[in-house]
Structure 1
Amino acid sequence: MAVMTLNYNSKTIGMHQNITIILPEDESFFNFKDEAKPLKTLMLLHGLSSDETTYIRYTSIERYANEHQLAIIMPRADHSAYSNMAFGHNYYDYILEVYDYVHQILPLSKDRANNYIAGHSMGGYGTIKFALNEGDKFSKACPLSAVFDINQLLNIEWYDFSRQAIVGEQGDITGTDLDIYHLVDAAVAKRNPIPKLLIMCGKEDFLYDDNKQFINYLGNKGIPYHFESESGQHDYAYWDKAIKKVIEWCTED
């Protein structure tokens, strides 16, 4: 098992960025006469109060990934809501750059069937956004304790978090690319490929009602999904269990 911090000079952000990577070792990595076996890969997006290191520190993700031979790519996206910020960096484009970059330099499968995306809270919001917009890259997507009503995220009071940094002077963002419900409608209208969806949220999570409202909307639009809920708060005790389920679900045949 290789665990690494990859620091590279991002052309999108315009400065060096850190990515945390879990890379399970395959026997082919030591057979230097042949090409390495390409691994299945999960892009994992952090939440508002987290960064690219927190899953390594607060969960057993390394053990889960190794058991299922799944590479995990964990980029850092600040307080961006995984958007191209009005006053800040283009973090939506940056995640796409990370996807392309790691698939270029690491032994990762480029097959859509072997690529997945997941994330919690703000990262869950990012997950569903990429699932609806970039479904040609990911076959499965797993929003965990996700924000689906963007106003709940934009209006949250958190240390050094700014709505204006993301949306500028826009008031109503309904119908914009930040509006997940608008993205659902657009994906259906355009017949975009939508990954298989595993949506999870703890019953004691303050976003539980938001999740229930969203899955009802998916059902009304005829979009398949699997929803799992059990006792759980908005914390890493829940996300440790959730990410184990995500890894099992993504790698099952």
Structure 2
Amino acid sequence: MAFLSLNYKSKTIGKDQTLSVILPEDDSYFDSKAQPKQLKSLMLLHGLSSDSTSYVRYTSIERYANEHQLAIIMPSADHSFYSNMKYGHSYYDYILEVYDYVHQVLPLSRERKDNFIAGHSMGGYGTMKYALTQGARFAKACSLSAVFKAETFMYINWPDFSPEAIAGTNKQTQGTDLDLYHLVDQAAESKMQLPELLIMCGRTDELFDENVRFIHYLDDKGIDYQFKDEPGNHDYAYWDHAIKQAIEWMVES
């Protein structure tokens, strides 16, 4: 098992960026005459208080990745909510750049069926945003304890977090690319190709009701999904348990 801390100069952000990669090993990587095995991969998005190292430090993600021969790509996106910020960096575009970059320089399969995306809280919001707009890239998407209503994070009280930097001074999100309900409407109307969706949330998570409202909206729009609610709070104890199940669901035939 290789663990990479990868630093490169991002053309999107305009400065050096660091991401973490878990890369399961294969015998073909030690044989210079062999064609390297192309791995399935998961783009894993962190939450508001986390970064590219958090899943490695707080969960057993490396063990799960090795068991299933799944590469894990973990970028950092600051407090951006994976948006092209009004006053800040274009983190929505940056995650797509990371996807393209790692598929160019690492032994990763480019086939849609072998590529997945997941994340928790802010990363769950980002996961659903990419699922609804970049379905041609990902076969499966799993949100854990996600924020689904943009107004929720417009009024979060968090150190050095600026919703105005994301949405502008008027904090307008309805009907914009920040509005997941709007993106659902667009996807349903255009019959866009979507990944298989798994939505997971602990029953004692403060965002549980928000998750339930969102899946009811998916029902109204005729969008398929699976919903899994179990005991759990908004913490890494639950996300460790949940990401293990998510990975098992992703790699199953």
Q: Distance in 2 between matches of 1:200 and 1:250?
A: 14
Residue of structure 2 equivalent to 1:248 = 248
CA contact (8 A) 2:188 2:222 kept: no
RMSD between aligned residues = 0.7
Q: Residue deviations 1:163-221, cap 9 Å, x none?
A: 11101123432111100000000011111111000100000000000000000111111
Runs of 4+ in 1 over 3 A off after TM superposition: none
CA separation in 2, counterparts of 1:228 and 1:153? Answer: 23
Q: Equivalents in 1 of 2:201, 2:195: separation in Å?
A: 19
Residue of structure 2 in register with 1:117 after alignment: 117
- What SS does the aligned partner of 1:240 have? helix
What residue is the counterpart of 1:23 in the other structure?
A: 23
Query: Could you tell me the TM-score, scaled by structure 1's length?
Result: 0.99
Question: 1:34 aligns to what?
Answer: 34
Does residue 159 of the first structure (1) align with residue 159 of the second (2)?
yes
Q: Distance in 2 between matches of 1:146 and 1:137?
A: 21
Match of 2:231 in 1: 231
Distance across 1 between alignment mates of 2:169 and 2:208: 29
Task: Give the equivalent residue in structure 1 for 2:137.
Answer: 137
Unaligned runs of 5+ in 1: none
Return the alpha-carbon distance in structure 1 between the equivalents of residues 130 and 164 of structure 2: 22
Q: Does the residue aligned with 2:202 lie in a helix, a strand or coil?
A: coil
Between stretches 29-38 and 239-248, larger displacement belongs to 29-38
Give the corresponding residue for 1:67. Answer: 67
**1:233: how far off?**
0.4
- Is 1:100 aligned to 2:100, yes or no? yes
Instruction: Please state whether the residue corresponding to 2:11 is helix, strand or coil.
Output: coil
How far apart are the structure 2 equivalents of 1:29 and 1:170? 52
Count the aligned residue pairs: 253
Supply the AA of the counterpart residue of 2:150: I
In structure 1, give the amino acid aligned to 2:229.
Answer: S
Return the alpha-carbon distance in structure 1 between the equivalents of residues 167 and 60 of structure 2: 35
- Where 1:229 maps in the other structure, the secondary structure is strand
Give 1:155 shift: 0.9
CA distance, structure 2, for counterparts of residue 76 and residue 107 of structure 1? 21
Q: Is the 8 A contact 2:13 2:94 kept in 1?
A: yes
Q: Matched residue of 1:81: which SS?
A: coil
Work out the CA distance in 2 between the residues paired with 1:228 and 1:173: 28
1:33-52 to 2 correspondences below 5 Å: 33-52=33-52
Matching residue of 2:201: 201
Shift of 1:34: 2.0
Secondary structure, in 3 states, of the residue corresponding to 1:201? strand
What is the CA–CA distance in structure 1 between the aligned matches of 2:211 and 2:35, rounded to whole Å? 43
Deviation at 1:27, TM superposition (A): 1.5
TM-score normalised according to structure 2 size: 0.99
